[in-house]
Structure 1
Amino acid sequence: MTGLARVLDDVLTVVTTTEQDTSWTRRWDTADEMVRELSDHRDRVRLGDLSTLPELKFLFAPTGPLQDVSLSSGWGELFLRLAERFDGAYAEIMDS
């Protein structure tokens, strides 16, 4: 769980320190909505609540909402590295 929380922390750092273009995703109308949702996921994970894990898997999926935002906001390469870390943390959780 710690690895997953770290990935979410790192994503939140990116999306809160640079301007985000959410126009290419229907998921969020504004960057603030995206930050609120990601923060909620992170807080749940920190508390040991993995009930939103399927939703997180969708957010980090190829051509998913986070990749759409990353590409339109200029951090597409970083997203790929974060998504790889997410996949590793997800696999650890599923294997335990």
Structure 2
Amino acid sequence: MISDRNTDGDWNAVIKILEAVKSKITVETDLLWTSYNSVEELTTEINEIENLLREKNNKALELLGYLFAPTGTLQEISMQNEWIQEYMNLSSEFDTLYKILKT
């Protein structure tokens, strides 16, 4: 459950969302409609964001906000790779957590 105040649990919930996204990224992932040249490049960026999240760094929230934005990278990847419904659920949860953690 998502709380209404900034807690370690909220940061951990964002990390779990990112881990769920990472679990969908494989060597077979189609990145055609993104700016990434390879799955390794995308994975490296996701890992860097995850490290920032573990430090409770607000920069990570901004970077994820960009990736989760409508018609953003993660939405494009999810549509191209047929996991759009899972993306929509993760995106909705992220949006809620983003609002909590940015206050």
Give the TM interval when normalised to the shorter protein: 0.7 to 0.9
TM-score if structure 1 supplies the norm length? 0.87
Aligned length: 93
Unaligned runs of 5+ in 2: 1-10
Matches within 5 A, 1:1-96: 1-16=11-26, 19-26=28-35, 28-95=36-103
Separation of aligned partners in 2, 1:75 and 1:19: 13
Unaligned runs of 5+ in 1: none
Deviations along 1:7-37, one digit per CA (max 9) or x if unpaired, are 1111111114x721001112x1111111111
Moved over 6 A (4+): none
Larger Rg: 2
Q: CA-atom RMSD, angstroms? A: 1.4
Separation of aligned partners in 1, 2:84 and 2:55: 29
Report percent identity of matched pairs: 28
